[in-house]
Amino acid sequence: MSNVALRAAAAAVLSLALAAAYGTSRRSSPVLAADESRPPARLSETGLWVSGRPGIVDSRNRPFAPQYPLWTDGAAKRRFVYLPEGATIDASADHAWEFPVGTRFWKEFSFGGRKVETRMLWKATRERWVVAAYVWNDDQTDAVLAPQAGVAGVAEV
């Protein structure tokens, strides 16, 4: 990996950690699926939004942006991170940061203001990350878990 790529990756992770570190709420964490091997069926069940208010990001989820964002076919992107209350990222090893169980990342893709996909990365157990992609409905009120094979034509440019 080139020095530029390494610096970009390190900057992205550092900006993520700083964004997560600027405060936490005293409220309890939104509950995720009981089955830690499967992500929730709907984006509204992941804890991204305020309960009952689709599209309103919960204040416990901190927005962040990498210093060097990648271009993704012209899509606009929003990113959020959640750390459990009182938890910290162990950054003592230069190349192997340890995120606490319950950490969640979301990345939302939109074209022309229309949301098309939101991805979630969730640290479900000490050794397991659950990855999910959600496809937005036509009303833009929620997104459903995409099948592993993907959905044809959803974000074609």
Three-state SS for 5? Answer: helix
The answer to whether the CB of 101 falls within 8 A of the CB of 126 is yes
Give the tens place of pLDDT for each residue, 14-60: 444 433 443 333 333 444 544 566 899 999 999 999 988 878 999 99
The first and second tokens of residue 66, run together, are 């990498």
CA angle 157, 143, 43 (to 5 degrees): 130
Stretch among 26-30, 75-79, 80-84, 125-129 having the lowest mean pLDDT:
26-30
User: Has residue 66 got a pLDDT over 70?
Assistant: yes
Torsion angle in degrees (nearest 10) through CA of 70, 101, 143, 26? -100
| Burial category of 140 from C-beta neighbours within 10 Å (exposed 0-12, middle 13-18, buried 19 and up) | middle
Pick the residue with more confidence: 19 or 122?
122
Query: DSSP for 77-129?
Result: EEEEEE--TT---B--STT--BPPTT-EEEEEEEETTEEEEEEEEEEEETTEE
